[in-house]
Amino acid sequence: MITIIKYLLLGLFAFWLLWVFFLAVMELRAARDAGLVNRQADCYYLALSVLFVGYIIDFLVNVFVASIVFLEPPFEITVTARVTRWKKDEGIRGKIARWICAKLLDPFQVGGHCR
């Protein structure tokens, strides 16, 4: 029982960490669009490292956590791609995907992700 709780907490932490990196990447994207982050910027390689680490976290959460949440093996590389595939479904997977879009992604991404 303790092991199940430990894995549940680890999964929640992983989803939270993925969301934090999503927020960071969206802010870096806004800075890039404003011309503040480019190859000449002092923070360029630091920004790339955030993108790289975020992508690894996205992949790992998709394989290990989202597979349990969506009750299926991963067919995509990232959670975002999986959510995009399921967002129009009328079943429970679609409800989960739409909730993730509406509450966690769209408010922080210019133009929204799932609209």
pLDDT digit string (tens) for 85-110? 999 999 999 999 999 999 998 888 87
Higher pLDDT pick, 66 / 31: 66
Rounded to the nearest 5 percent, the helix, strand and coil shares of the chain are 70, 0, 30
**CA dist., res. 64 & res. 87, Å (int):** 20
pLDDT value of residue 39: 82
pLDDT value of residue 86: 95
Is it the case that residue 44 has pLDDT exceeding 80? yes
Say if residues 76 and 64 touch (Cβ distance below 8 Å): no
What tokens were used for 2? 């303790």
Average pLDDT over residues 24-30: 90
